[in-house]
Structure 1
Protein backbone atom coordinates (compact mmCIF):
# COMPACT_ATOMS: atom_id res chain seq x y z
CA UNK A 1 0.00 0.00 0.00
CA UNK A 2 1.47 3.35 -1.01
CA UNK A 3 1.46 6.49 1.20
CA UNK A 4 -1.08 7.98 -1.22
CA UNK A 5 -3.42 5.00 -0.63
CA UNK A 6 -3.08 5.48 3.13
CA UNK A 7 -3.94 9.19 2.80
CA UNK A 8 -6.99 8.35 0.70
CA UNK A 9 -8.04 5.68 3.23
CA UNK A 10 -7.74 8.16 6.09
CA UNK A 11 -9.78 10.73 4.19
CA UNK A 12 -12.43 8.09 3.54
CA UNK A 13 -12.57 7.13 7.23
CA UNK A 14 -12.61 10.74 8.39
CA UNK A 15 -15.25 11.57 5.81
CA UNK A 16 -17.64 8.98 7.19
CA UNK A 17 -17.47 9.37 10.96
CA UNK A 18 -14.83 11.73 12.36
CA UNK A 19 -14.36 9.99 15.70
CA UNK A 20 -12.60 7.29 17.63
CA UNK A 21 -14.05 5.23 20.47
CA UNK A 22 -12.23 3.08 23.03
CA UNK A 23 -12.62 1.94 26.61
CA UNK A 24 -10.42 4.20 28.70
CA UNK A 25 -11.42 2.93 32.16
CA UNK A 26 -13.70 0.25 33.57
CA UNK A 27 -17.16 0.86 32.03
CA UNK A 28 -16.04 4.25 30.70
CA UNK A 29 -15.65 4.94 27.00
CA UNK A 30 -13.59 7.71 25.47
CA UNK A 31 -14.56 9.28 22.19
CA UNK A 32 -12.54 11.92 20.45
CA UNK A 33 -13.87 13.88 17.51
CA UNK A 34 -11.53 15.58 15.08
CA UNK A 35 -11.58 18.01 12.20
CA UNK A 36 -14.77 19.81 11.32
CA UNK A 37 -17.99 18.09 12.26
CA UNK A 38 -21.13 18.71 10.24
CA UNK A 39 -24.78 18.03 11.02
CA UNK A 40 -24.96 15.13 8.58
CA UNK A 41 -22.32 13.18 10.45
CA UNK A 42 -23.74 13.88 13.90
CA UNK A 43 -26.59 11.38 13.36
CA UNK A 44 -24.01 8.69 12.52
CA UNK A 45 -21.95 9.65 15.57
CA UNK A 46 -24.99 9.51 17.85
CA UNK A 47 -26.08 6.13 16.50
CA UNK A 48 -22.59 4.60 16.64
CA UNK A 49 -21.85 5.84 20.13
CA UNK A 50 -25.24 4.85 21.55
CA UNK A 51 -24.92 1.32 20.14
CA UNK A 52 -21.38 0.99 21.49
CA UNK A 53 -22.40 2.22 24.97
CA UNK A 54 -25.31 -0.23 25.09
CA UNK A 55 -23.19 -3.12 23.79
CA UNK A 56 -20.42 -2.55 26.32
CA UNK A 57 -22.78 -1.62 29.19
CA UNK A 58 -20.90 1.63 29.68
CA UNK A 59 -21.65 3.80 32.69
CA UNK A 60 -19.94 6.88 31.31
CA UNK A 61 -18.50 8.34 28.15
CA UNK A 62 -15.92 11.11 27.88
CA UNK A 63 -16.52 13.20 24.76
CA UNK A 64 -13.28 14.97 23.85
CA UNK A 65 -13.59 17.98 21.57
CA UNK A 66 -9.94 19.07 21.82
CA UNK A 67 -9.21 18.14 18.19
CA UNK A 68 -12.32 19.71 16.69
CA UNK A 69 -11.40 22.63 14.46
CA UNK A 70 -14.83 24.18 14.03
CA UNK A 71 -18.52 23.59 14.54
CA UNK A 72 -21.61 25.51 13.58
CA UNK A 73 -24.67 26.21 15.72
CA UNK A 74 -26.51 23.15 14.36
CA UNK A 75 -23.65 20.86 15.38
CA UNK A 76 -23.48 22.48 18.82
CA UNK A 77 -27.17 21.65 19.23
CA UNK A 78 -26.52 18.08 18.03
CA UNK A 79 -23.80 17.68 20.68
CA UNK A 80 -26.37 18.47 23.37
CA UNK A 81 -28.76 15.98 21.78
CA UNK A 82 -26.00 13.36 21.76
CA UNK A 83 -25.48 13.94 25.47
CA UNK A 84 -29.20 13.74 26.20
CA UNK A 85 -29.60 10.51 24.21
CA UNK A 86 -26.74 8.91 26.11
CA UNK A 87 -28.07 10.13 29.46
CA UNK A 88 -31.49 8.65 28.60
CA UNK A 89 -29.93 5.21 28.11
CA UNK A 90 -28.14 5.54 31.46
CA UNK A 91 -24.71 6.76 30.39
CA UNK A 92 -23.12 9.70 32.23
CA UNK A 93 -21.60 12.17 29.75
CA UNK A 94 -18.48 14.22 30.42
CA UNK A 95 -17.45 16.75 27.77
CA UNK A 96 -13.84 17.92 27.72
CA UNK A 97 -11.36 19.84 25.60
CA UNK A 98 -13.72 22.58 24.45
CA UNK A 99 -11.65 25.32 22.77
CA UNK A 100 -12.49 29.01 23.05
CA UNK A 101 -13.85 29.35 19.52
CA UNK A 102 -16.09 26.31 20.03
CA UNK A 103 -17.31 27.66 23.38
CA UNK A 104 -18.13 31.03 21.77
CA UNK A 105 -20.13 29.30 19.04
CA UNK A 106 -22.09 27.35 21.64
CA UNK A 107 -22.85 30.41 23.76
CA UNK A 108 -23.77 32.54 20.74
CA UNK A 109 -26.15 29.79 19.62
CA UNK A 110 -27.73 29.64 23.07
CA UNK A 111 -26.72 25.98 23.48
CA UNK A 112 -27.05 24.88 27.12
CA UNK A 113 -24.54 22.36 28.46
CA UNK A 114 -25.61 22.90 32.09
CA UNK A 115 -26.82 19.33 32.60
CA UNK A 116 -23.46 17.81 31.66
CA UNK A 117 -20.15 17.71 33.44
CA UNK A 118 -17.58 19.83 31.61
CA UNK A 119 -13.86 19.24 32.19
CA UNK A 120 -10.93 21.27 30.89
CA UNK A 121 -9.07 18.28 29.45
CA UNK A 122 -8.99 14.49 29.36
CA UNK A 123 -7.01 14.20 32.59
CA UNK A 124 -9.57 16.29 34.49
CA UNK A 125 -12.41 14.28 32.96
CA UNK A 126 -10.81 11.02 34.13
CA UNK A 127 -10.28 12.38 37.64
CA UNK A 128 -13.96 13.37 37.75
CA UNK A 129 -15.05 9.95 36.49
CA UNK A 130 -12.94 8.10 39.06
CA UNK A 131 -14.30 10.27 41.87
CA UNK A 132 -17.86 9.62 40.67
CA UNK A 133 -17.35 5.87 41.14
CA UNK A 134 -15.58 6.22 44.48
CA UNK A 135 -11.95 6.04 43.34
CA UNK A 136 -9.16 8.51 43.75
CA UNK A 137 -5.94 8.86 41.79
CA UNK A 138 -2.99 9.08 44.12
CA UNK A 139 0.71 9.24 43.49
CA UNK A 140 2.55 6.10 44.51
CA UNK A 141 5.71 6.80 46.47
CA UNK A 142 8.78 5.00 45.13
CA UNK A 143 10.55 2.89 47.72
Structure 2
Protein backbone atom coordinates (compact mmCIF):
# COMPACT_ATOMS: atom_id res chain seq x y z
CA UNK A 1 0.00 0.00 0.00
CA UNK A 2 1.35 3.42 -0.91
CA UNK A 3 2.34 5.70 2.01
CA UNK A 4 -0.36 8.24 1.10
CA UNK A 5 -3.05 5.51 1.01
CA UNK A 6 -2.87 4.30 4.60
CA UNK A 7 -6.06 2.88 6.08
CA UNK A 8 -6.12 5.36 8.93
CA UNK A 9 -3.96 8.40 9.39
CA UNK A 10 -3.81 11.59 11.34
CA UNK A 11 -2.69 13.76 8.46
CA UNK A 12 -3.93 17.25 9.29
CA UNK A 13 -4.83 19.26 6.22
CA UNK A 14 -6.66 22.22 7.75
CA UNK A 15 -5.23 25.69 7.75
CA UNK A 16 -5.77 29.14 9.20
CA UNK A 17 -9.56 28.96 9.54
CA UNK A 18 -10.52 27.91 13.08
CA UNK A 19 -11.10 24.27 12.18
CA UNK A 20 -8.96 21.19 11.94
CA UNK A 21 -9.59 18.87 9.03
CA UNK A 22 -7.97 15.46 9.13
CA UNK A 23 -7.76 12.84 6.43
CA UNK A 24 -8.71 9.63 8.24
CA UNK A 25 -8.89 7.34 5.21
CA UNK A 26 -8.14 7.89 1.54
CA UNK A 27 -11.87 8.57 1.01
CA UNK A 28 -12.94 10.28 4.25
CA UNK A 29 -12.19 13.59 5.96
CA UNK A 30 -13.01 14.47 9.56
CA UNK A 31 -13.60 17.82 11.22
CA UNK A 32 -14.70 18.47 14.76
CA UNK A 33 -16.34 21.78 15.56
CA UNK A 34 -16.17 23.17 19.09
CA UNK A 35 -17.37 25.94 21.38
CA UNK A 36 -20.01 28.46 20.49
CA UNK A 37 -20.25 28.90 16.75
CA UNK A 38 -21.34 32.19 15.22
CA UNK A 39 -22.34 32.92 11.63
CA UNK A 40 -18.99 34.43 10.64
CA UNK A 41 -17.04 31.42 11.92
CA UNK A 42 -19.49 28.98 10.32
CA UNK A 43 -19.18 30.70 6.95
CA UNK A 44 -15.39 30.34 7.19
CA UNK A 45 -15.78 26.69 8.14
CA UNK A 46 -18.11 26.09 5.18
CA UNK A 47 -15.74 27.76 2.71
CA UNK A 48 -12.64 25.99 4.01
CA UNK A 49 -14.24 22.55 4.30
CA UNK A 50 -15.73 22.62 0.81
CA UNK A 51 -12.38 23.77 -0.63
CA UNK A 52 -10.49 20.98 1.15
CA UNK A 53 -13.06 18.32 0.17
CA UNK A 54 -12.84 19.46 -3.45
CA UNK A 55 -9.04 19.61 -3.40
CA UNK A 56 -8.72 16.15 -1.83
CA UNK A 57 -11.44 14.64 -4.06
CA UNK A 58 -12.88 12.96 -0.99
CA UNK A 59 -16.12 10.98 -0.95
CA UNK A 60 -17.21 11.44 2.67
CA UNK A 61 -16.82 14.17 5.30
CA UNK A 62 -17.59 13.50 8.95
CA UNK A 63 -18.63 16.66 10.79
CA UNK A 64 -18.44 16.11 14.56
CA UNK A 65 -20.56 18.44 16.69
CA UNK A 66 -19.84 16.78 20.06
CA UNK A 67 -17.91 19.75 21.45
CA UNK A 68 -20.30 22.41 20.17
CA UNK A 69 -21.84 24.28 23.08
CA UNK A 70 -24.46 26.27 21.24
CA UNK A 71 -25.59 27.45 17.84
CA UNK A 72 -28.37 29.70 16.65
CA UNK A 73 -30.79 29.13 13.78
CA UNK A 74 -28.57 31.07 11.35
CA UNK A 75 -25.59 28.81 12.13
CA UNK A 76 -27.79 25.73 11.84
CA UNK A 77 -28.85 27.02 8.43
CA UNK A 78 -25.18 27.26 7.41
CA UNK A 79 -24.68 23.65 8.51
CA UNK A 80 -27.58 22.52 6.36
CA UNK A 81 -26.27 24.55 3.41
CA UNK A 82 -22.83 23.03 3.95
CA UNK A 83 -24.40 19.59 3.72
CA UNK A 84 -26.21 20.62 0.55
CA UNK A 85 -23.11 22.05 -1.09
CA UNK A 86 -21.09 18.95 -0.24
CA UNK A 87 -23.78 16.67 -1.66
CA UNK A 88 -23.91 18.74 -4.88
CA UNK A 89 -20.19 18.20 -5.46
CA UNK A 90 -20.50 14.47 -4.78
CA UNK A 91 -19.37 14.39 -1.16
CA UNK A 92 -21.51 12.66 1.47
CA UNK A 93 -21.59 14.57 4.77
CA UNK A 94 -22.15 12.65 7.99
CA UNK A 95 -23.01 14.73 11.05
CA UNK A 96 -22.31 13.13 14.42
CA UNK A 97 -22.07 13.87 18.11
CA UNK A 98 -25.11 16.10 18.53
CA UNK A 99 -25.78 16.19 22.28
CA UNK A 100 -29.33 16.29 23.63
CA UNK A 101 -29.12 19.95 24.71
CA UNK A 102 -27.92 21.02 21.28
CA UNK A 103 -30.54 18.82 19.58
CA UNK A 104 -33.28 20.40 21.70
CA UNK A 105 -32.08 23.89 20.76
CA UNK A 106 -31.93 22.97 17.08
CA UNK A 107 -35.44 21.50 17.05
CA UNK A 108 -36.83 24.50 18.92
CA UNK A 109 -35.23 26.77 16.30
CA UNK A 110 -36.94 24.81 13.52
CA UNK A 111 -33.78 23.15 12.19
CA UNK A 112 -34.72 20.13 10.11
CA UNK A 113 -31.90 17.61 9.57
CA UNK A 114 -34.15 15.14 7.72
CA UNK A 115 -32.09 15.27 4.52
CA UNK A 116 -28.83 14.70 6.38
CA UNK A 117 -27.09 11.58 7.62
CA UNK A 118 -26.77 11.86 11.40
CA UNK A 119 -25.12 9.32 13.67
CA UNK A 120 -24.79 9.15 17.43
CA UNK A 121 -21.03 9.55 17.70
CA UNK A 122 -17.73 9.51 15.84
CA UNK A 123 -17.38 5.75 16.21
CA UNK A 124 -20.70 5.10 14.47
CA UNK A 125 -19.93 7.74 11.80
CA UNK A 126 -16.60 6.10 11.01
CA UNK A 127 -18.22 2.66 10.88
CA UNK A 128 -20.90 3.98 8.52
CA UNK A 129 -18.31 5.64 6.28
CA UNK A 130 -16.47 2.34 5.97
CA UNK A 131 -19.68 0.45 5.19
CA UNK A 132 -20.64 3.03 2.56
CA UNK A 133 -17.38 2.20 0.73
CA UNK A 134 -17.86 -1.57 1.03
CA UNK A 135 -15.61 -2.25 4.01
CA UNK A 136 -16.58 -3.88 7.26
CA UNK A 137 -15.15 -3.48 10.72
CA UNK A 138 -14.70 -6.69 12.66
CA UNK A 139 -13.64 -7.45 16.20
CA UNK A 140 -10.56 -9.61 16.52
| Structure 2: runs of 5+ lacking an equivalent | 1-15
Q: Tell me the equivalent position of 2:5.
A: none
Please give the residue correspondences for 1:124-143 in structure 2 after superposition, counting only pairs within 5 Å: 124-140=124-140
Please give the residue correspondences for 1:8-47 in structure 2 after superposition, counting only pairs within 5 Å: 17-47=17-47
User: CA offset at residue 26 of structure 1?
Assistant: 2.1
Distance 1:18 1:101 in 2: 23
**TM-score for both structures, normalised by structure 2:** 0.85
Corresponding pairs, count = 125
User: If you compute each CA radius of gyration, which structure gives the higher value, 1 or 2?
Assistant: 1
Distance 2:43 2:74 in 1: 12
User: CA offset at residue 17 of structure 1?
Assistant: 3.7
| Structure 1: runs of 5+ lacking an equivalent | 1-15
Large movers: runs of 4+ above 4 Å: none
Could you say what secondary structure the match of 1:139 adopts? Answer: coil
Distance 2:97 2:18 in 1: 16
**TM-score for both structures, normalised by structure 1:** 0.83
Could you say what secondary structure the match of 2:20 adopts? Answer: strand
